[in-house]
Amino acid sequence: MRSAKTINLPRPAGGDKREAILRAAISVFAHNGYFNSKVADIAREAGVADGTVYLYFKSKEEILHSIFDRSVDEAVGEARKKLELLTDPRDKLRQIASLHLERLGADRDLAVVFQVELRGSTKFMEEFSAAGFAEYLALIRSVFEEGQRAGVFRQDLNAKVVAKILFGALDEMATNWILSKRRYKLAPMADQVLDIFLNGVTE
């Protein structure tokens, strides 16, 4: 239990600094790329001294990991909650796709970090893969299997492969959106993907 002080006062910056650094890092990484970003850049952007970064994160790499972890946790959490309100597996997949693209579409910098910076090394990718990403794929897969049991989706499909296909399609939408010079809304792409996908996997 925190002391009353921590509750009453406008908080001595504790979490604020960490948050500021994380936000700054997303911006800096998105604009310069992870390897070209200097810790000093992040510190300046966050309005703290270089050394302060190390009071909250063990290393530059840990900052990247923290960005990923926090975002995935939030995303999966939100998804699970909203899925409880739905029953039709098709609606659930639509929901997942919408949340996926809405979230990335709402924060271009974060999207760049997710779609590009996080992909640049097998090391990151493997951890990324092992961590939240696997959980995300499993979520899609379980919804699909639920649909198969309900007779809504084709029985002859491998649920694991199907999950990857849906993820891959959505992921490509996000990556293309980031790299595109034209400015358009990302979220609506979910419908087009789902249209084809559901048509393809439905009996």
User: Would you tell me which residues interact with DNA (CB under 7 A)?
Assistant: 12-14, 17, 36-40, 48-55, 59-61
Q: Which does 55 bind (CB under 5 to 8 A by kind): DNA, its own copies, none?
A: DNA
Q: Is 176 in the site for its own copies (CB under 8 A)?
A: yes
Binding span for its own copies by CB under 8 A among 40-48, 50-58, 85-93, 171-179: 171-179
Q: How many CB atoms lie within 10 A of CB 198?
A: 18
Cα separation, 169 vs 55, whole angstroms: 39
Q: Which residues from 17-76 bind its own copies, rule CB under 8 A? A: 30, 33-36
Task: Check if the beta carbon of residue 21 is closer than 8 Å to that of residue 53.
Answer: yes
Q: Which of 80, 126, 138, 149 binds its own copies (CB under 8 A)?
A: 126
Q: Which of 39, 68, 117, 136 binds its own copies (CB under 8 A)?
A: 117
State which residue, 12 or 77, has the beta carbon closest to DNA: 12
Phi, psi of 153 (to 5 degrees): -105, 155
132 near its own copies, judged by CB under 8 A: no
197 counts as binding its own copies under rule CB under 8 A = yes
Select the binding partner of residue 193 from its own copies, DNA, none (C-beta < 5 to 8 A, by kind).
its own copies
Q: Are 99 and 79 in contact (CB under 8 A)?
A: yes
- For residue 87, how far is the Cα from the chain centroid? 24
